[in-house]
Structure 1
Amino acid sequence: MATALNRKDFVSDQEVRWCPGCGDYAILAAVQKTMPEFGIAPENTVFISGIGCSSRFPYYMNTYGFHTIHGRAPAFATGLKISRPDLDVWVVTGDGDGLSIGGNHLIHVLRRNVDLKILLFNNKIYGLTKGQYSPTSEVGKVTKSTPMGSVDFPFNPITVALGTHATFVARTIDVEQKHLGEMLKRAHAHRGASFVEILQNCNIFNDGAFNDVSDKAIKADHQLILEHGKPLIFGKNRDMGIRMNGMRPESVQLGAGVTEADLVVHDETNLSLAFMLGNFEPPLPTPVGVFYAVSRPTYDGAVNKQLEDAKAKQGAGDLKTLLGKGDTWTVTN
């Protein structure tokens, strides 16, 4: 009988080296705590990263791992998943790594629906290289590389993922350990490309970027927790909601003739609704949870099916015979 796994099975012997107070510690703790529940041994689990603070992750997991090239983690992960479909493969990236030089790789791994679990840490800054603006930094952001304020319009990770028709798109927050754990479980249970944006605080170079949804005193009034089949309700007293005013969503207070029946009901299978929620900006609350979750054949499954069909029709093949077929040349000095 197999021995039950626990958190210690997924903790490596490497010293964890992030800045004190970094949100990455909370994410690492949540992942290590959640992994045993999947019942997959560490030797059958792989974490793949690119370049950035988040990309130290594989060192701290007692699993197999690759610390790869800037932005290219999805390409490495795709190759691994196709060749070893039995492995549980995770990609850890950041807003700089995944949405700048790695943007092309990210969108294609999502549209292909490779069976990977992709965690994108979004702190709206380049942390490893000491505080330059990133693809998710807001317009006007003053940093070392934009001393007069950024003029770039930022990427929205959720709508980028939805635009590829990714089959699982979610958002959570580093300090919300219970919710973060739930999103990890949902992502892992999904067959296909699971994309989870994690709002992560960089307390050195962009401290407080997500205070409105992480500060205990005010977060209830700014955080909209998405639950499939339930009305969009939020607020410290659970007395606020989202309803449609024609084609536009609006925040309303319950009471005075407004009831839960007037509110939008969340549907994870509705792509249009997911896009609408993904584009929420103040004064509307920030949605967290699963925006979209549908089933579609996976890329790795389709490729391996083609290989199986080819072997069944033509045999396993022989590489030496293949290389010697057709016209060949002998080169002599």
Structure 2
Amino acid sequence: MNAPVKIETTLKDWETDQEVRWCPGCGDYAILKAVQRTLPKIGADPANTVFISGIGCSSRFPYYMETYGFHTIHGRAPAVATGVKLANPELDIWLVTGDGDGLSIGGNHMMHVLRRNVDMQIMLFNNEIYGLTKGQYSPTSRVGTPSPSTPRGSVDAPANPCAFALGSGARFVARGFDVSKKLPEVLIAAHEHRGAAFIEIFQNCIVYNKDVFDDFAAPKGAEDRQLWLEDGEPMLFGSEKTGGVKGLRLNTDTLSFEVVEVADGDWQAAGVRVHDTKNRVIAHLLAELPFGPYPMAMGVLYDDPAPTFSDGMIAEREAATKGKEANLAKLLQSGQTWTVDGTAQDPV
């Protein structure tokens, strides 16, 4: 497959004439702007870009991007996106889904697009609620979440989107949140990855699950509650202003992380782990770190490219057609054929 030709655009080139309609204060507005700011940075071409969504608040996204797009049906966006990629592998595919759309009715489709490693960027907006259908609990809602469907609080154990993606065989898994200034960096890294790139984006539902992510996303004290990962860099968080720099050390006996204090900036003496995006085991541990005792792991958790599904399909197609003539008429007249004589009459 040929490398895409980069062109020069601005944010305005990606904005449509459609009125953007989400609830005032919805985190989707911030994600939309982050994407529209990111695409010019990567040299994307609107004529070669497709946004494909399922059903939900997040799935209005294609209307607000000046690109090609499909607003498909509930949970089936991964299947449609796979078809689009196979029909035209040169297209740059962005899949937009939510925690309900992508992990409930669409969980099976999501698993297969990840294990097949279809080349696309998958943005899963996680607001831990069903926003479009008026606030029912979703697969990612926390235990105790009150909703119209769980008035006494949800008793379901929530799904972990990043752990799900890793378990499904994803080769790129990352996290960010709607108003983070670092979200474009995560999107750029996902776009640079060839294959299925899965990004969980925490998104504030202002109406039905307001400020549920403030425990780690609120600006005040964020240094102590967010661990932004960078390949080849130590896993550090906190600051001297907020009680000191800390880090994550791997206990090899229990194969679990421990929070350690870092004195005088000497993270090596404290045994702080250096992040390796190609280490799948470490990615699993980071994805499942319980928030509270640990910070929320953000950024690129895992990035280890592998052959893509579309590359395999193209190679198979080329091998099957090598040295053969594309002649439909000849094909239809080959093998056992016969002619029906239109003059014959039925027996009396």
1:254 offset after TM fit, Å? 1.7
Which residue identity is paired with 2:236?
I
How many percent identity over aligned positions?
54
Distance 1:41 1:278, change over 3 A: same
Q: Which residue of 2 aligns with 1:254?
A: 262
Matches within 5 A, 1:41-120: 41-120=45-124
1:313 offset after TM fit, Å? 3.7
Which residue identity is paired with 1:287?
A
Q: Which residue of 2 aligns with 1:37?
A: 41
Gaps of 5+ in 2: 1-5
Which residue identity is paired with 2:315?
K
Gaps of 5+ in 1: none
1:135 offset after TM fit, Å? 0.3
Distance 1:11 1:126, change over 3 A: same
Matches within 5 A, 1:150-229: 150-177=154-181, 179-229=182-232
Which residue identity is paired with 1:294?
D
1:38 offset after TM fit, Å? 2.3
Secondary structure of the structure 1 residue equivalent to 2:215: helix
Report the count of equivalent residues: 330
Separation in 1, partners of 2:266, 2:336:
77
Distance 1:44 1:140, change over 3 A: same
Matches within 5 A, 1:120-139: 120-139=124-143
Corresponding position: 1:274 with 2:278? no
1:61-118: per-residue Cα shift (whole Å, max 9, x none)? 0000000010000000000001101111110000000000000000110010000110
- Find 2:317's aligned residue among 307, 319, 325: 307
Separation in 2, partners of 1:263, 1:323:
71
Separation in 2, partners of 1:284, 1:323:
69
1:304 offset after TM fit, Å? 1.1
Corresponding position: 1:241 with 2:267? no
1:322 offset after TM fit, Å? 4.3
Secondary structure of the structure 2 residue equivalent to 1:260: coil
Separation in 2, partners of 1:18, 1:271:
37
Q: Which residue of 1 aligns with 2:297?
A: 287
1:213 offset after TM fit, Å? 2.1
1:176-209: per-residue Cα shift (whole Å, max 9, x none)? 13x1100111011111000000011111110111
1:256 offset after TM fit, Å? 9.4
1:314 offset after TM fit, Å? 2.9
Secondary structure of the structure 2 residue equivalent to 1:235: strand
Q: Which residue of 2 aligns with 1:141?
A: 145
1:326 offset after TM fit, Å? 4.9
CA contact (8 A) 2:7 2:44 kept: no
CA contact (8 A) 1:311 1:317 kept: no
Secondary structure of the structure 2 residue equivalent to 1:117: strand
Separation in 1, partners of 2:225, 2:75:
32
Which residue identity is paired with 1:302?
G
Task: Please report the RMSD computed on the Cα atoms of aligned residues, expressed in angstroms.
Answer: 2.2
Larger Cα-atom Rg: 2
- Find 2:331's aligned residue among 309, 321, 331: 321
- Normalising by structure 1, what TM-score? 0.94
Separation in 2, partners of 1:319, 1:162:
47
- Normalising by structure 2, what TM-score? 0.90
Separation in 2, partners of 1:18, 1:69:
19
